Amino acid sequence: RRVRARAAVVATQPQKATRLLDGVAPEAAAELAAVQVSSMAVVAIAYRKGDLAAPAPTGSGILVPVSEGTAVKAATYVTNKWPHVAEEDLFIVRASIGRLGEQHVLQRTDDELVALARHDLAILAGISGEPVDALVQRWAGGLPQYDVGHLDRVRRIRSAVEQVRGLAVAGATYDGVGIPGCLNSARSAADKVLRDIEGDE
């Protein structure tokens, strides 16, 4: 459907942004088409602390190098990082699975991914026991890869979009894949479209 608007912010993953921008900012679209993306699954697992085979780990989580050979590439100890999200006796861990070129790993069922995450977490962090609950979230093509020269590419994208009044881009492609980076890009996009709108008045 068509929507009439004074401004638009394109906040999709790179390949979708490429199609949306092709007719209005072709240089930006071409740059976005070159950004590779990987798919991932986030497996959240909740344990009762008393059911863990060893004391719950401290810290906020771990990053796992490829050399470890595990499917889990990172883990966040949710209840350590954000204590307000769980009851006192729960330990919640969130494992990230999926690297560029490893889409085959994500073809497993949710139950298989939970079992894989439990296996790897036991090896990597000594987290083992019978969980009380688990949740799998899948993000197809949702993780942009920052290759050498990515910052220059982002500058070229923004420069091309800057030429189109009322248009801005935001999302994990630009200022970081974490929440702070996405918020920063959203603020930049909002500032840009607001300047354009105010300039038209």
Residue 2 lies in a domain: no
Asked if residue 65 and residue 24 are part of one domain, the reply reads: no
**When comparing pLDDT for 176 and 200, which is higher?**
176
Phi, psi of 152, deg, nearest 5: -65, -40
- Give the pLDDT confidence of 85-99 residue by residue, as tens digits: 878 799 999 999 988
CA–CA distance, 3 with 145 (Å, rounded to integer) = 32
Asked if residue 126 and residue 176 are part of one domain, the reply reads: no
Identify the three-state secondary structure at position 130: coil
Asked if residue 83 and residue 96 are part of one domain, the reply reads: yes
Residue 17 lies in a domain: yes
CATH of residue 184: 3.50.50.60
Residue 1 lies in a domain: no
Could you tell me the pLDDT band of residue 125, with boundaries at 50, 70 and 90?
A: very high
Range of the domain at 192: 8-36+146-200
Q: What is the pTM of this model?
A: 0.79
Could you tell me the pLDDT band of residue 122, with boundaries at 50, 70 and 90?
A: very high
Give the number of domains in the chain.
2
Asked if residue 161 and residue 104 are part of one domain, the reply reads: no
Contact 44, 90 (CB under 8 A): no
Identify the three-state secondary structure at position 23: coil
Q: Which amino acid is at 53?
A: A
Could you tell me the pLDDT band of residue 201, with boundaries at 50, 70 and 90?
A: low
Strand partners, 61: 76
